[in-house]
Each structure stands twice: as structure tokens, then as C-alpha cells.
């Protein structure tokens, strides 16, 4: 349900790799489905929560989309198989474990599990 003042949408650039490659990556790695709105835009509906952090890592940082997985190891394999690059292997943090990857356009995302 949409509410005033609540996070509602996340847009990421397709970059130089192109929209078709990015769509193929997320479809293959995570099963995402897309609706095309012309040749330059594709939408998805895959859920969203968020948080903020501070400290040395926050300096010059960009937003980090974080996805969930029931099977972190298998998702890491799926990301690599789909063409993603692992930039931080699986590590523990308060609340679970996660890894970071970049998609074909260079966007960095994380995947976490309890």
C-alpha cells in the first residue's frame, strides 16, 4: 500500500551494458520479471525496505540495494552464472550473512540471509 513519505521505488541505471543485458541478468539470477515502457525503460516489482549507516564506510558511498535469499550460497552461484561479479564474498554481520556483487552495468548490490 502506497503512503505519503514512504519509500516506494528504486531506479538503477542500465549503464553502457544496455537494458536487455541487465534484464537478462536479473531474470536469470533472481527470476525477476519486467514490463517494458518503451525502448529505454523497464520496470519491476520486487519489494523494498531500507536503512541508513554512518562511519568511514559511509563516506562517498552510494545507495546499496540489498536483496534477500533463503539459500545464500546458491544465490551467489546464480549471480556468478548470470554474469555478476562478486566484490565482497559471503561475510557475517549482526543479523545474518551477506555478499556484495556488481551487475553487468556496474551497479553494486548485496544479498543477505538470516
Output the nine-digit C-alpha cell for 13. Answer: 541505471
The SS3 assignment for 23 reads helix
CA contacts within 13 A on the Cβ side of 42: 18
User: What is the distance in angstroms between the CA of the first residue and the CA of the last residue of the chain?
Assistant: 26
Give all domains of the chain, ordered by start, each with its CATH number: 15-113 (3.10.180.10)
In order of 15, 18, 72, the CA distances from 34 in angstroms are 17, 15, 24
Mean pLDDT of the chain: 87
pLDDT at 10: 80
pLDDT in tens, 34-77: 999 888 889 988 887 666 677 787 677 788 888 999 999 999 99
Separation of alpha carbons 110 and 49, rounded Å: 13
> Quick one: pLDDT at residue 63?
82
pTM of the model: 0.80
Per-residue pLDDT averaged across 85-94, rounded? Answer: 95
Sheet holding 96-102, edge to edge: 66-68, 108-113, 96-102, 85-93
For residues 82, 88, 89, 92, the Cα torsion angle rounded to the nearest 10 degrees is -130
Amino acid at each position: 500500500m502506497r503512503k505519503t513519505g514512504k519509500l516506494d521505488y528504486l531506479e538503477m541505471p542500465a549503464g553502457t551494458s544496455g537494458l536487455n543485458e541487465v534484464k537478462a541478468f536479473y531474470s536469470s539470477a533472481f527470476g525477476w520479471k519486467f514490463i517494458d515502457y518503451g525502448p529505454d525503460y523497464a520496470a519491476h516489482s520486487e519489494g523494498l525496505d531500507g536503512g541508513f549507516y554512518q562511519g568511514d564506510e559511509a563516506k562517498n558511498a552510494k545507495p546499496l540495494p540489498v536483496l534477500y535469499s533463503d539459500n545464500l550460497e546458491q544465490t551467489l552461484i546464480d549471480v556468478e552464472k548470470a554474469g555478476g561479479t562478486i566484490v565482497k564474498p559471503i561475510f557475517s554481520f549482526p543479523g545474518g550473512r551477506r555478499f556484495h556483487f556488481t551487475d553487468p552495468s556496474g551497479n553494486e548490490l548485496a544479498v543477505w540471509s538470516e
